[in-house]
Amino acid sequence: MAKRDPDKSARNRIINNIKEELRDILPEVLKKTGVSSEQSLNAKIGSKNDEFFDLKNEVINSHEEFINKWLQGLKAQITTWDSPAHQWIYDQAKKHDVFKKYLLSLVSQRFIE
């Protein structure tokens, strides 16, 4: 039997904990934002990663740094482009703490995966 990689096992535990947290708050987030499904919500958020910074060439050492760059990219996009999608994310995060928590957890999960 092959030995399990302890780093990979720890990473998988972290991802599973984040997924459980996201599932717990999902119904409230959907209700507050008016988004119809988890897939739609995740598409609104996750599809923006490569718009906010250069994922292929950027060296990121932690999920905190990833979140920071993501939020800086969101802010930069809002100030330089008139994008309703980016503005929606920003407005929802300011308006609903539960959405902000969901957003930060989801972005963090994307870095870890």
Tell me the pLDDT of the chain (113 aa) as tens digits.
667 777 788 878 888 898 999 999 999 999 999 999 999 998 888 776 677 777 778 888 887 888 888 888 888 888 887 788 889 999 999 999 999 999 998 888 877 76
State the residue range of the domain holding 38: 6-112
pTM above 0.95, yes or no: no
Residue 29 tokens read as 């987030």
Gap between the Cα atoms of 7 and 86, Å rounded: 35
| Secondary-structure percent of the chain, ordered helix, strand, coil, rounded to 5 | 75, 0, 25
How many distinct structural domains can be found in the chain? 1
Predicted local confidence at residue 59, as pLDDT: 83
Task: With respect to residue 96, please indicate whether it lies within any of the assigned structural domains.
Answer: yes
**Close Cβ partners of 46 (under 8 Å, ≥ 6 residues apart):** 106, 110
SS3 57: coil
pLDDT digits (tens, 9 = 90+) for 12-25: 888 889 899 999 99
